[in-house]
Amino acid sequence: MNQPEPSLALTNALLIDGTGGPVIDGATVVVSSGRITAAETGAPVPPHTTVVDLGGKAVLPGLIDAHVHLGGLGFRSTPPFGGRAATDDYAAAREGALRYGVTTQRSLGDFLHDSIAVRDGIENGTLAGARIVTSGPSFQVEGGHPNATVWGSEPAAVREGARMPKTTEEAERMVDELAAAGVDLVKIIISNNAIFGPARPELKMPWHLTEAIADAAHARGLRVAAHTETVEDARAAVERGVDDIEHLVLRAEEPQDEAAAEALFALMADRGTYLVPTMVAHQFEAAADGDARTLRYGNHLVRRAYEAGVRLGVGSDAHSPGLHGWKLRDELVMTVHDQGIPAPAALSMATKTNAELLSIADRLGTVEPGKIADLLIVSGNPARDITAIGRVHQVIRSGRVVFDGEGA
């Protein structure tokens, strides 16, 4: 079980609180019983508090990765996708993320009961790692992505990780079952199967089923995330009520219809629909020479969405051992250096906005009194130089240091 942590005061800190407000130099962040009790310049330090002088290091909210998968075993593995038994309770995903300051991850397609059990184990302290918000399995089309692509129709993966309704009644019943099991949201795959070859529109989720799933989820208080691969599909999904678009496009090098993109972003901004671009989805190794500034996406759709007022989240699509954590770092660097979005805005997207998207903003996402003390301490000022986000000094979860070391 989690034990109460002793009071802690982080002094002489460069505070980037995630709210989008100005950076505060010389701040003090006070933590007691796992919660933030003060975060300001000159905050009083209670007696019997452990004081740590950060010497100007930056303190931020723990990062949130809005798009991961926990059970991937690698494209060449057999099976390629698994649950708790095959992954040691998703150890690589839940523990690896912490090394890079990712203290919460949203799983968008994993085994139902396994992902819920590990989520709950992390919360009650029986397992270590980044917090988990999970959709459990994703809604897919039989013979489509990922059941027949990444998973190769492997029976256990299909059975545990996919829901494939043929009618609206089946879709509604399946949403009911997921809600009863305790998922945090619902995920729909709207794929042309164009990731691995020519488009096959016949394997795309029918729009009447998309709408039925979204309506059923909303009736149960659950948000809906939709994987899309084209601007046109993203617009159709938004029109049918999904709450956030994942990926948007997966072939960024292909020309996009600028007018269609502008119309989509205007619609998303009007409806408050989120976008999680996952620009590094197809990146499987850290950037050359470890410098994520070398990365390029292929178009500036993300910047255009930002300028249009779309709510932007940040996600990596990390899905296999060794990918969790650093991919979100690279996504942030890419957001700033390739897309031209200001670093303070990008940091707020990966903390405050992601917390809002995950429906956890009442307790996480900013460094403010009353919030859970999930904190990232880095050397340098990532609001000025976003690459400093990779110079991890310490990671704190619920007021306790869970990773200690420079340059993860």
What are 334-393's pLDDT values in tens digits? 999 999 999 999 999 999 999 999 999 999 999 999 999 999 999 999 999 999 999 999
Q: Tell me the C-alpha distance between 330 and 287, whole Å.
A: 8
How confident is the model at residue 1, as a pLDDT? 46
How confident is the model at residue 290, as a pLDDT? 61
Who wins on pLDDT, 192 or 197? 192
Q: What is the DSSP string of 213-244?
A: HHHHHHHTT-EEEEE-SSHHHHHHHHHTT-SE
How confident is the model at residue 5, as a pLDDT? 66
How confident is the model at residue 407, as a pLDDT? 43
Closest CA to 402 of 374, 367, 361: 374
CB atoms within 10 A of CB 108: 28
Q: Tell me the C-alpha distance between 116 and 134, whole Å.
A: 7
How confident is the model at residue 288, as a pLDDT? 62
Verify cis geometry, omega within 30 degrees of 0, for the bond prior to 198: no
Q: What tokens appear for 385 in the block?
A: 């130089």
> Could you read off the pLDDT of 15-52 as tens digits, one per residue?
999 999 999 999 999 999 999 999 999 999 999 999 99
In percent, the amount of the chain with pLDDT more than 90 equals: 83
> Could you read off the pLDDT of 168-184 as tens digits, one per residue?
999 999 999 999 999 99
Mean pLDDT of 66-79: 87
How confident is the model at residue 22, as a pLDDT? 94
Residue 408 pLDDT > 50: no
Who wins on pLDDT, 293 or 365? 365
In percent, the amount of the chain with pLDDT more than 70 equals: 96
Q: What tokens appear for 195 in the block?
A: 């990731």
Q: What is the DSSP string of 333-375?
A: HHHHHTT---HHHHHHIIIIIHHHHTT-TTTSSS--TTSB--E
Phi-psi group of 223: left, alpha or beta (phi > 0 → left; psi -120 to 50 → alpha; rest → beta):
beta
> Could you read off the pLDDT of 122-162 as tens digits, one per residue?
999 999 999 999 999 999 999 999 998 888 889 999 999 99
Residue 110 pLDDT > 50: yes
Q: Are 16 and 23 in contact (CB under 8 A)?
A: yes
> Could you read off the pLDDT of 269-289 as tens digits, one per residue?
999 999 999 999 988 877 665
> Could you read off the pLDDT of 321-330 as tens digits, one per residue?
999 999 999 9
Tell me the pLDDT band of 78, cut-offs 50, 70 and 90. Answer: confident
- Please, is 187 exposed, middle or buried when counting C-beta atoms within 10 Å of its C-beta (0-12, 13-18, 19+)? buried
Burial 310-331 (b: 16+ CB within 10 A, else e): bbbbbbbbbbbbebbbbbbbbb
79 — phi, psi (to 5°)?
A: -75, 165
Tell me the pLDDT band of 406, cut-offs 50, 70 and 90. Answer: low
Residue 64 pLDDT > 90: yes
How confident is the model at residue 77, as a pLDDT? 78
Decide: helix, strand or coil at residue 75.
coil
- Please, is 213 exposed, middle or buried when counting C-beta atoms within 10 Å of its C-beta (0-12, 13-18, 19+)? buried
